[in-house]
């Protein structure tokens, strides 16, 4: 069985670093100061799998896929290597960080030269596998599974191995169908499949009947699409404003047949290739780039924000880690939280106070933030300080931030005179903004107000400790106990545009609060305000920043629904990034557009003075742009097996299409489930959604494994803003619970967004 040498497909057959990985070598695997074991690591011939041995008596060879690697970092960049190796080993160390919850792999290499080869080789493999188009990814995945099914490694497949292979790729078929498929491909009548017979088997397996039907409707030129046919398809079905030049570019880019390309035609293979590229995605590729105006004041944007950023799990006993900050920042989070407490040896630490969560040094967190803040987005990062430290350690916090962050730390207003509004994300590129308490007004920077030592309110402690009082419709809150802290002036002076203040009602804020003074709201309080005083909340956010955070009772680090907060213009809607859930799916969907910058410009009606918009009691206005969203769920491809240990466990998939936005637009509909087919299920089910405020709507596609006896299991999902949805026949990528792409899987739909009558 010729499994198609992957290294050639990746274009790396002559690469010295890849050859080095194929040969492999002994590396020291580090887990603790006492657990450091030598293991042999090497790249397997498929150039997708890394294997290493185990010294356990009955230990199996352990493997992991290049697809599962999130990043490779050279040097002592992990917490483990920093703790358990010496400074002189810096150039002999590297770490492999995985997607999902799998722990990172810390390794020490015999020489600096070999370290470079390992890191360079792995990075080349990662880069190249991410460049594969969806068809290549599917091909790789299927041939991988074929290789695994070939138990005796004889490069041939028996009928028994074919049956096992079909179960592995999530298809349950009866024996007669499997035998028929096998016999059809076994043209040599040898009782095995090999070479071209396996290629024929692959073609039969991956044939997309639904694509054939669409293609034949438009292919009028001897079974092929002419450039004119393709142009007609793009205009009529895909609703794209394109020209003949655009159609010719697609043929040039995706048609694999040279003769067809020469004739300016597209075959079924080229058509499928096009549909599986960004141009054929449900998400508008133009919105994957930075396309919004970034010159407006900071408070005019939704800002991707994290709560308890340091935690890897629950709020009672999980680990605090610099890695949690790195992961959030690499996902373009632009506001991270630092819970700061007095630590031993006079050094401030970060952890969830009065719990069993572990502690991490404040300076280590600041170093990690400095290193990773601007790798995904160059737009500003807000450091939200929850300060519980003594005056002495607060002073050290200020010194640490000033020293490590240097000129990137904003220590004074950008203007030469007292500002009256926020600067823009564009003006703040590459800068760190401190959010926290400040002893005095900002105009003291210009000498017009004296700096006075004072006591300040700790926001989240206040929300946790205060006996909640009745909130009036205008947001007025009755008097309550406030936990006070002393504040060091050096730390206070670093707070410029985000001074934390207690919220005492919208009227009070309008009369007394400066633009840079912002309040934090616990989710229950924010929800109440959104429901009872939505328009007042919106106007508050036209001139101020608001931060929303989860209730303290969410000890499991679960999340609240962020959508009502966005609907009232709240900018910093902080979620627990470490918790995979629907709410984080929606957050990822909201910030998928605008180049993954972490900043999304709010709609006009959430920014313009005089707006009468209220998401709960909708009235006529420019926000009402009534649309009808038509979705036909057609098919899915190569859904992952949920229980890989049980070869007979096959997915019974169903699809849910959900719309989130203003209350009147929120809806969910689902297909029937299909028994025992996660490979190529087909539904052809149509849904219709009536949408009144499209600029606030998000669409979520969810695939679940149906279960008669218990709740359905999550298979994959994809969320995006309705305004970024492309009409026509589109492929929907599928993501894991933690937001990583499932390389081979996808959903195929037809979408149409039209004006309501």
The per-residue pLDDT for range 559-599, each reduced to its tens digit, is: 999 999 999 999 999 999 999 999 999 999 999 999 999 99
Residues 6+ apart with CB under 8 A from 473: 532, 533
pLDDT band at 91 (very low <50, low <70, confident <90, very high): very high
Answer whether residue 16 shows pLDDT above 50: yes
Q: 47 a known binding residue?
A: yes
Rounded CA gap, 655 and 701, in Å?
A: 7
Q: 138 a known binding residue?
A: no
Q: 686 a known binding residue?
A: no
- Specify the residue for token string 């090497």: 42
Verify whether residue 307 is a known catalytic residue: yes
Contact 586, 612 (CB under 8 A): no
Question: 574: closest CA among 335, 331, 254, 289?
Answer: 335
Answer whether residue 683 shows pLDDT above 50: yes
CA 749 to chain centroid, in Å, comes to 22
pLDDT band at 173 (very low <50, low <70, confident <90, very high): low
pLDDT of residue 692: 97
3-state secondary structure of 414: coil
Across the range 450-463, mean pLDDT stands at: 48
Q: 645 a known binding residue?
A: no
pLDDT of residue 562: 98
Single out the catalytic residue among 307, 539, 673, 750.
307
Share of residues in the chain with pLDDT > 90 (%): 72
Residues 6+ apart with CB under 8 A from 179: 159
Q: 503 a known binding residue?
A: no
Write out pLDDT tens, residues 354-373: 999 999 999 999 999 999 99
Q: 55 a known binding residue?
A: yes
Answer whether residue 10 shows pLDDT above 90: no
pLDDT band at 468 (very low <50, low <70, confident <90, very high): very low
Write out pLDDT tens, residues 710-743: 899 999 999 999 999 999 999 999 999 999 998 8
- If one compares 647 and 354, the residue with the highest pLDDT of the two is 354
pLDDT band at 615 (very low <50, low <70, confident <90, very high): very high
Question: CA 725, 253, 213 angle in degrees (round to 5)?
Answer: 60
pLDDT of residue 611: 96
Count of CB atoms situated within 10 Å of the CB of 164? 17
Rounded CA gap, 522 and 468, in Å?
A: 11
pLDDT of residue 465: 35
Phi, psi of 471 (to 5 degrees): -105, 125
* Structure token digits, residue 393: 């350690």
Enumerate domains of the chain plus CATH numbers.
6-131 (2.30.29.30), 135-206 (1.10.238.10), 209-280 (1.10.238.10), 298-413+421-438+456-606 (3.20.20.190), 627-755 (2.60.40.150)
pLDDT of residue 281: 96
Question: 339: closest CA among 316, 319, 362?
Answer: 362
Contact 410, 496 (CB under 8 A): yes
Q: 339 a known binding residue?
A: yes
pLDDT of residue 482: 52
Answer whether residue 471 shows pLDDT above 50: no
Contact 93, 85 (CB under 8 A): yes
Question: 497: closest CA among 429, 544, 458?
Answer: 544
In 332-342, which positions are buried (b, 16+ CB within 10 angstroms) versus exposed (e)?
bbbbbbbbbbe
- Region for residue 647 given its phi and psi (left: phi exceeds 0; alpha: psi -120 to 50; beta: otherwise): alpha
pLDDT band at 12 (very low <50, low <70, confident <90, very high): confident
3-state secondary structure of 39: strand
3-state secondary structure of 756: coil
pLDDT of residue 464: 39
Across the range 37-64, mean pLDDT stands at: 80
pTM score, two decimals?
0.89
Count of CB atoms situated within 10 Å of the CB of 549? 26
For 476-488, give the secondary structure using H, E and C: CECCCCCCEEECC
Across the range 402-410, mean pLDDT stands at: 98
Answer whether residue 250 shows pLDDT above 80: yes
β-strand 682-691 against 627-637: which pairing, if any?
A: antiparallel
Residues 6+ apart with CB under 8 A from 230: 218, 247, 250, 251, 266
Rounded CA gap, 559 and 244, in Å?
A: 48
Single out the catalytic residue among 140, 287, 352, 388.
352
Answer whether residue 604 shows pLDDT above 90: yes
Residues comprising the chain, all counted: 757
Rounded CA gap, 455 and 462, in Å?
A: 14
């Amino acid at each position: 069985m010729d499994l198609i040498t992957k290294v050639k497909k990746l274009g790396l057959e002559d690469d010295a670093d890849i050859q080095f990985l194929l040969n492999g070598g002994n590396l020291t695997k580090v887990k603790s100061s006492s657990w450091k074991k030598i293991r042999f690591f090497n790249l397997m011939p498929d150039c997708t799998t890394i294997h290493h041995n185990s010294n356990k008596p009955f230990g199996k060879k352990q493997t992991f896929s290049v697809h599962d690697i999130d990043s490779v970092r050279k040097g002592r960049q992990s917490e483990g290597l920093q703790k358990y190796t010496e400074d002189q080993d810096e150039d002999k160390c590297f770490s492999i960080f995985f997607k999902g919850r799998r722990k990172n792999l810390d390794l020490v290499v015999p020489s600096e030269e070999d370290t470079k080869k390992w890191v360079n080789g792995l990075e080349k493999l990662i880069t190249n596998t991410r460049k594969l188009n969806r068809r290549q990814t599917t091909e790789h995945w299927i041939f991988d599974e074929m290789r695994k099914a070939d138990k005796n490694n004889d490069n041939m497949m028996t009928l028994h191995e074919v049956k096992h292979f079909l179960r592995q790729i999530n298809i349950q078929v009866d024996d007669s169908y499997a035998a028929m498929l096998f016999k059809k491909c076994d043209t040599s009548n040898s009782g095995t499949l090999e070479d071209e017979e396996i290629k024929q088997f692959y073609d039969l397996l991956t044939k997309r009947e639904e694509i054939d039907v669409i293609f034949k409707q438009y292919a009028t030129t001897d079974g092929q699409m002419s450039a004119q046919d393709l142009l007609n398809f793009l205009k009529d079905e895909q609703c794209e404003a394109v020209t003949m030049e655009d159609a010719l570019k697609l043929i040039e880019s995706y048609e694999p047949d040279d003769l067809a390309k020469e004739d300016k035609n597209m075959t079924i293979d080229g058509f499928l290739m096009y549909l599986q590229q960004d141009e054929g995605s449900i998400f508008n590729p133009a919105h994957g780039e930075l396309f919004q105006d970034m010159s407006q004041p900071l408070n005019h944007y939704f800002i991707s924000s994290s709560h308890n950023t340091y935690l890897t799990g629950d709020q009672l006993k999980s680990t605090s880690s610099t890695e949690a900050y790195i992961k959030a920042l690499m996902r373009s989070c632009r506001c991270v939280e630092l819970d700061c407490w007095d630590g031993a040896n006079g050094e401030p630490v970060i952890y969830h106070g009065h719990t069993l969560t572990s502690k991490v040094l404040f300076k280590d967190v600041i170093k990690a933030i400095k290193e990773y803040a601007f790798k995904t987005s160059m737009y500003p990062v807000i450091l939200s300080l929850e300060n519980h430290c003594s005056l002495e350690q607060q002073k050290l916090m200020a010194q640490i931030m000033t020293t490590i962050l240097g000129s990137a730390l904003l220590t004074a207003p950008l203007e030469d005179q007292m500002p009256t509004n926020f600067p823009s994300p564009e003006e703040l590129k590459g800068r760190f903004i401190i959010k926290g308490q400040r002893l005095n007004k900002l105009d003291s920077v210009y000498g017009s107000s004296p700096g006075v030592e004072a006591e300040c309110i700790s926001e989240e402690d206040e929300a946790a400790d205060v006996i909640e009082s009745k909130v009036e419709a205008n947001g007025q809150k009755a008097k309550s106990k406030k936990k006070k802290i002393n504040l060091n002036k050096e730390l206070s002076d670093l707070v410029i545009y985000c001074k934390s203040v207690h919220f005492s009602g919208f009227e009070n804020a309008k009369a007394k609060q400066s633009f840079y003074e912002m309040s934090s709201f616990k989710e229950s309080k924010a929800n109440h305000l959104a429901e009872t005083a939505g328009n007042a909340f919106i106007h508050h956010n036209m001139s101020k920043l608001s931060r929303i955070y989860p209730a303290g009772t969410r000890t499991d680090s679960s999340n609240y629904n962020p959508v009502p907060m966005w609907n009232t213009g709240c900018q910093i809607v902080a979620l627990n990034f470490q918790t995979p859930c629907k709410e984080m799916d929606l957050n990822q969907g909201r910030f998928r557009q605008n180049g993954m910058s972490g900043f999304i410009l709010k709609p006009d009606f959430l920014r313009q003075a005089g707006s009468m918009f209220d998401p709960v009691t909708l009235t006529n206005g420019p926000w009402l742009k009534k649309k009808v969203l038509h979705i036909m769920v057609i098919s899915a491809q190569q859904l992952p097996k949920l229980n890989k240990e049980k070869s007979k466990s096959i997915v019974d998939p169903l699809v849910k299409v959900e719309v989130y936005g203003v209350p009147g637009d929120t809806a969910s509909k689902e297909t029937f489930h299909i028994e025992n087919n996660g490979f190529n299920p087909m539904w052809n089910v149509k849904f219709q959604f009536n949408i009144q405020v499209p600029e606030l709507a998000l669409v979520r596609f969810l695939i679940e494994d149906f279960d008669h006896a218990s709740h359905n299991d999550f298979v994959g999902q994809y969320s995006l803003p309705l305004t970024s949805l492309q009409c026509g026949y589109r492929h929907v990528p599928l993501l894991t619970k933690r937001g990583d792409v499932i390389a081979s899987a996808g959903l195929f739909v037809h979408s149409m967004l039209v004006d309501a009558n």
